[in-house]
């Protein structure tokens, strides 16, 4: 039976820069996937593109591709699929072509997948009856239209498979579903029809398991300890068979671990209903998945049946929602937690006296369990805690005034107050998330081989 090895060397923009190269060198891969995008990332990239028409993509990918050039020469059949294109896939692809040309790899074909960016068509879509109502509360997008900075549909694997069928060595997309980065290569290599929903669902399970990088190979594992060697953690590989079964593993002689616990934890990560995991390609039923430990650091995965398919794409909209700032101080000594909470209250009270109240505010005594309220609580009085106070408000000036109330506590607050040398906390613009659905018939994806 034919097998395809797909490894994912990146789980988000900001992940380990060395991981893709190490995985490609040691993983004996057919495909290297690199997943860079999150909802917040898209809004950041949209603002970057607004300032520079040649920007708006995950620039880490260009650095990674430069490092990968020797490996691509040594492994000419290795292909790369990535959503590093973000808000500007064409610009990302042109930058990638320059890297390849400089490395003597100009013959490599780079393909671009577009069609996910709805912002240029947003008003026409709204006028055409696509309300893009908020999935949680039903509000129409028109209520915040003037604040929108990005709107992207989650495309699926079909255009990726098409790009590979057209000879692409590197496929660069904008917003596609994370798992689709794996589904596309599998469907192409095995010649699957996208109506074969059970196999597409199985590949979706594989894509979901490796999409977050080292989270499937020991990262955040509940039983991780020093023996897990996370400083040298290996990134995941899904070796798929034509019937949709696959194994999850990692390169030999790397840190981390692949076992039923690590795979199970990732399987349920960011999953609302395990029987209905919605993607553009298929609705997958994770309750049918079966795991077995074949060997050390090798887990066999079967199941992952289809539970239908939707006629809509998910849309991720980001919009401006005011400003925020968060500052910290260290409070040490007896009754540190109590003093920290009272210090936070003093900051907010002083601001109120100065005429400033806020749409949202929060005081936390970190070190007492308030990072995860109701989950973990301290059963002793810690000798020191970190006071964190945060505010959000539509008025930038009000938030800027908030940043000036931390340092005064060093001499006018409780004893044991320190940690002010980092300066005033910065003011950041807030981008809120608006999830919606749109009919698949309203979108047309496109593939261009440069």
pLDDT, mean over the chain: 96
In this structure, are residues 31 and 5 in contact, taking their beta carbons and an 8 Å threshold? Answer: yes
| pLDDT value at residue 40 | 85
| pLDDT value at residue 39 | 87
Q: How far apart are CA 88 and CA 172, in angstroms?
A: 10
pLDDT in tens, 133-164: 999 999 999 999 999 999 999 999 999 999 99
DSSP state of 242: T
In this structure, are residues 340 and 331 in contact, taking their beta carbons and an 8 Å threshold? Answer: yes
Concatenated DSSP letters for 411-443? HHS-TTEE--TT-SPPPEEEEEEEEEEEEGGG-
Q: How far apart are CA 32 and CA 236, in angstroms?
A: 10
Q: Output the CA angle 234-215-210, nearest 5 degrees.
A: 80
- Return the closest-CA partner of residue 358 out of 396, 407, 319: 396
| pLDDT value at residue 423 | 85
Check pLDDT > 80 for residue 420. Answer: no
Contacts (Cβ under 8 Å, ≥6 apart) of 153: 115, 116, 118, 175, 313, 314, 315, 438, 443
111: left (phi over 0), alpha (psi -120 to 50) or beta: beta
pLDDT in tens, 250-279: 999 999 999 999 999 999 999 999 999 999
Q: How far apart are CA 120 and CA 140, in angstroms?
A: 18
| pLDDT value at residue 1 | 62
For the packed helices 197-210 and 180-190, what is the interaxial angle rounded to 10 degrees? 130
pLDDT in tens, 331-366: 999 999 999 999 999 999 999 999 999 999 999 999
Q: Does domain 320-431 have CATH number 3.20.20.70?
A: no
Check pLDDT > 90 for residue 375. Answer: no
110 CA to centre of own chain:
23
Q: How far apart are CA 432 and CA 427, in angstroms?
A: 16
pLDDT in tens, 6-55: 999 999 999 999 999 999 999 999 999 999 999 889 989 998 998 999 99
pLDDT in tens, 228-254: 999 999 999 999 999 999 999 999 999
Q: How far apart are CA 286 and CA 297, in angstroms?
A: 21
Tokens of 287: 């309750």
pLDDT in tens, 58-97: 999 999 999 999 999 999 999 999 999 999 999 999 999 9
142 CA to centre of own chain:
27
CATH 3.30.70.100 domain extents, the chain: 320-431
- pLDDT-derived band at 381 (thresholds 50, 70, 90) equals confident
| pLDDT value at residue 50 | 86
Q: pTM for the complete prediction?
A: 0.94
| Count of beta carbons in the 10 Å neighbourhood of residue 97 | 17
DSSP state of 250: -
Contacts (Cβ under 8 Å, ≥6 apart) of 253: 26
Q: How far apart are CA 368 and CA 386, in angstroms?
A: 9
- pLDDT-derived band at 415 (thresholds 50, 70, 90) equals very high
Check pLDDT > 80 for residue 378. Answer: no
- pLDDT-derived band at 380 (thresholds 50, 70, 90) equals confident
């Amino acid at each position: 039976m034919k097998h395809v090895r797909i490894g994912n060397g990146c789980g988000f923009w900001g992940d380990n820069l060395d991981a893709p190269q190490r995985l490609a060198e040691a993983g004996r891969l057919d495909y290297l996937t690199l997943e860079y995008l999150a909802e917040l990332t898209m809004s950041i990239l949209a603002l970057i593109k607004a300032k520079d028409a040649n920007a708006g993509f995950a620039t880490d990918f260009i650095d990674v591709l430069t490092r990968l050039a020797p490996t691509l020469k040594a492994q000419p059949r290795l292909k790369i699929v990535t959503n590093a294109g973000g808000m500007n896939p064409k610009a990302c692809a042109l930058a990638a072509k320059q890297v390849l040309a400089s490395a003597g790899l100009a013959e490599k074909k780079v393909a671009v997948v577009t069609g996910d960016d709805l912002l240029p068509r947003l008003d026409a879509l709204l006028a055409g009856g696509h309300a893009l109502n908020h999935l949680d509360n039903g509000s129409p997008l028109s209520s915040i239209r003037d604040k929108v900075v990005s709107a992207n549909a989650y495309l699926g694997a079909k255009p990726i498979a098409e790009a590979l069928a057209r000879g692409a060595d590197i496929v660069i997309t904008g917003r596609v579903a994370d798992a689709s980065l794996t589904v596309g290569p599998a469907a192409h290599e095995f010649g699957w029809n996208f109506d074969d929903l059970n196999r597409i669902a199985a590949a979706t399970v594989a894509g979901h398991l490796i999409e977050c990088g080292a989270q499937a190979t020991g990262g955040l594992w509940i039983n991780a300890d020093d023996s897990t060697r996370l400083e040298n953690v290996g990134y995941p590989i899904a070796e798929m068979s034509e019937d949709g079964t696959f194994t999850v593993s990692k390169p030999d002689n790397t840190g981390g671990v692949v076992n039923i616990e690590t795979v199970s934890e990732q399987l349920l990560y960011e999953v609302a209903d395990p029987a209905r995991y919605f993607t553009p390609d298929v609705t997958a039923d994770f309750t049918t998945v079966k795991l077995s430990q074949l060997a050390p650091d090798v887990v066999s995965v079967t199941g992952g049946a289809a539970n239908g398919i939707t006629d809509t794409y998910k849309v991720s909209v980001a919009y401006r929602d005011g400003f925020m700032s968060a500052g910290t101080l260290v409070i040490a000594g007896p009754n540190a937690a109590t003093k920290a909470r009272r210090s936070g209250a003093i900051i907010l009270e002083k601001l109120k006296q100065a005429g400033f109240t806020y749409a949202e505010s929060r005081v936390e005594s970190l070190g007492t369990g308030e990072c995860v309220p109701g989950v973990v609580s301290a059963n002793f009085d810690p000798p020191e805690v970190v006071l964190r106070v945060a505010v959000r408000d539509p008025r930038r000036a009000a938030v800027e005034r908030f940043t000036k109330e931390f340092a005064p506590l060093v001499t006018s607050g409780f004893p044991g107050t320190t940690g002010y040398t980092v300066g005033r906390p910065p003011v950041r613009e807030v981008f809120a998330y608006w999830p919606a659905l749109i009919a698949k018939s309203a979108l047309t994806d496109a593939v261009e081989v440069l």
